[in-house]
Chain A
Amino acid sequence: MASMVGYLGLSLLLFVIGAIGVCIRRNAIVVFMCIEMMLNAVNLSFVTFSKLNGNLDGQIAVFFVMVIAAAEAAVGLAIILAVFRSVASVETSDAAELKW
């Protein structure tokens, strides 16, 4: 039980680091990595709860998350490439055309 708290604490830590990174970093690739980190933090907590409850529901959810994350990585990197082609930068602050 006590080790569970450690897993959940790690999961929370990873998630918060990812969220902060998403909010404060300007480099699109780093932002992307932070998103991946948040996903994995959630995966960790899924696995933890799966173990705690003694069934496989959480682990099945993790598989879905990983599949979606793989697809999302492909789409996300493609977007970053497209942005790079048009503004010659991967800084999110440089791609700020859609504003007042």
Chain B
Amino acid sequence: MVTGDSRLSVIVVAPLVGALASFVIGRQAPRLAGAIASLAVAVSLAVTVALFQALSVTGEFSATLSSWISAGQFALPLDLLFDKLSAVMCLVVTGVGLLIHLYSVGYMADDPGRVRFFAYLNLFIFSMLVLVLGRSLPVIFIGWEGVGLCSYLLIGFWFTNTEFARAGRKAFVMNRIGDLGFLVAMAVLYTACGTLDIVELRKAEVLERLPADLGFLAGLALFFAATGKSAQIPLFTWLPDAMAGPTPVSALIHAATMVTAGVYLMGRMSGVVELDPLVPAIVLWVALATAIVAATTALAQNDIKKVLAYSTVSQLGFMFLAVGVGAYGVAIFHVVTHAFFKACLFLSAGSVIHGCHHEQDMRRMGGLWRMMPLTCAAYGVATLAIAGIWPFAGYFSKHGILAAISGSHNPFLFEYVSLIGVLATAVAVCTALYMARSFILTFLGSYRGEGRPHEAPAIMTLPVLVLAVLSIVGGAYLDGSLVEYLQGPLPALSGHEHESQGVVGHLLGSLPGMLGAGAALVLFLYMTGVKDLLRKVGWPLEKLFAGRYFVDEVLDSAVVRPIDGLSQVAYRSLDRGILEGSGSGIGVVSRAVGELSRRMTSGQVATYLLAMLVAVSVLFVIFVQVR
């Protein structure tokens, strides 16, 4: 059945088997579910590492799992491709995934639904691996839908809470809207180019078959698909609501892996995206707007997970900034470092929530460094990393993005390069500000909550510390080399040479981060009077930020309610009126006929005999007449 390299199929199949096994075995022995699920991901990780090492020797691997659709000329096999880009994505998914699985064993230890949880989590890893390993767009689409489904299942994991179930549904519906873009892009590419194979779609002679207007449409549709999955304007409001899920889910799906699928898609389809320079320009402006909106919203949130959620949206905006200026390698670099520090932040936040007896409001935390020093250290390191302070991981990728913006050659952006640079730097300052704020509110000062917080068990702190170490060294280690490594599957960055800087240059580069963090220290720790003054001056702004720019409300009244009203009308007139009417109408008529005809069976033999006599006479007359 499997042709090509069978090891490749092991990567994908292991989590699927793990999902089934943890569900089946877990029903008998719930303790084993976490172990089985983690083992499955570990197998995937091990095979990925082995293939990754073989990659530099043998080149790309590909495998065909089986045939999916085969009809005449049209054939659609389940093809997998393991090239440098999918290798990097696979390493992130399985590596960070394994750490989060281990963490979940501790976090979900007392949850009655943990068997279901681990089965879903493994199913997610499977879908995500299909997404990054798929060789043709329809196969990628399977993974794309699969991760959406798992995201829905895991956001609404505690489905007895109506609010959480609603959040899951919202995420699913918004993702589906984005999926429309994916379908449109596939339809356009197939009709114009005659293939959906990503290797074919990279070739110039195949892309030449796309007319200019269709090329623009395909690029834009792909980006629209990415806005759904990667939470960009206008489809970003589901991500903050997705925090209803268990915290490991937020770390894995809504920070490290699934939401970066859009960036991955852009990178994979870079040839199509770049066909019309207007598309990258649109990507860039949308990304910039998203980054600004999300970063400022994060400033006014009090729920620790909401801050991280908006931060994720903002960082995704940063990744799309890099996509917009054609620096796909840098975008993937930021995906990787972001996976490290954001997973670390979410898991630390999970430990805090776990330790504070499911308290998520930062106003009722504080002073936690005394009770949970390890978690505090990890959160602190990750905060420095996301703030973009040298030598932590985030500095390198963020600096790469800012450098790539100044090297942009897009004719639609050329005039605005400095403006974009300034705004992006402002977002970087803002990032440091809100992250430092969350750190200060949570860990410094004095404890404002009730009960006694406690440090998390070792199975939870260990993965967090590993991620913290990666957040420290990951950026410096991968800086430059990753972008260079990815130049095969991704277009080379034109006009931007990676220059090495001295320590002074690095410190200068971390200035935005230090500025923001310093401002947060001043505002929230030492001079709270200044904060109150600012609050008075910027009151309307704070209302705007705290209200999340009222995007939900606008979407609600502009889209949701009209559709809701329309469906009500359709429900009343079409469903209850015509469909249900015709259905019960048939019933009413046949009942009436039955009511009438049942009178015929009176039970009186005499009546039957009379009827028989009359009928025979009539038949006799007819028979004689016809003769």
Residues of A whose CB lies within 8 Å of any CB of B are: 19, 22-26, 28, 31, 92-93, 95-100
Contacts and interface: CB of A to CB of B under 8 A. Distances in A.
Contacts of B609: 22-23, 31
Interface in B602-622: 602-606, 609-610, 613
A26 B610 CA distance: 13
Given A19-B613, A22-B613, A99 B602 contact: yes
B598 A95 contact: no
Contact of B606 (A22, A98, A99): A22
Contacts of A100: 598-599, 601
A26 B606 contact: yes
A25 B609 CA distance: 11
A24 B604 CA distance: 11
Contact of A23 (B601, B603, B613): B613
Contact of A93 (B598, B604, B610): B604
Contacts of B606: 22-26, 31, 92-93
B613 A92 contact: no
Interface string B206-250: 000000000000000000000000000000000000000000000
Contacts of B613: 19, 22-23
Given A92-B604, A96-B603, A99-B602, 10 more contacts: A19-B613, A23-B606, A23-B610, A23-B613, A28-B605, A31-B606, A93-B606, A96-B602, A98-B601, A99-B603
Contacts of A31: 605-606, 609
A16 to B, nearest CB: 11
User: How large, as a class, is the contact surface on chain B?
Assistant: 10 to 19
A97 B610 contact: no
A18 B601 CA distance: 24
Contacts of A95: 605
A22 B605 CA distance: 9
B616 to A, nearest CB: 10
Contact of A96 (B598, B599, B604, B610): B604
Contacts of B610: 23
Give the one of A22, A23, A25, A96 with max B CB within 10 A: A23
A92 B605 CA distance: 6
Shortest 7 CB-CB contacts between residues of A and residues of B: A99-B603, A96-B603, A100-B598, A92-B605, A23-B610, A99-B601, A22-B609
B618 to A, nearest CB: 14
A100 B613 CA distance: 22
Contacts of B598: 100
Nearest to A100: B598
A28 B609 CA distance: 12
Interface in B133-150: none
A19 B419 CA distance: 110
B571 to A, nearest CB: 39
A98 B598 CA distance: 12
A61 B605 CA distance: 29
26 contacts: A22-B606, A22-B609, A23-B606, A23-B613, A26-B606, A28-B605, A31-B605, A31-B606, A31-B609, A92-B605, A92-B606, A93-B604, A93-B606, A95-B605, A96-B602, A96-B603, A96-B604, A97-B603, A98-B601, A98-B603, A99-B601, A99-B602, A99-B603, A100-B598, A100-B599, A100-B601
A97 B605 CA distance: 11
Contacts of A28: 605
Give the one of B602, B603, B605 with max A CB within 10 A: B605
B47 to A, nearest CB: 74
A23 B598 CA distance: 21
Contacts of B605: 28, 31, 92, 95
Nearest to A24: B606
Contacts of B604: 92-93, 96
Interface string B578-612: 00000000000000000000110111111001100
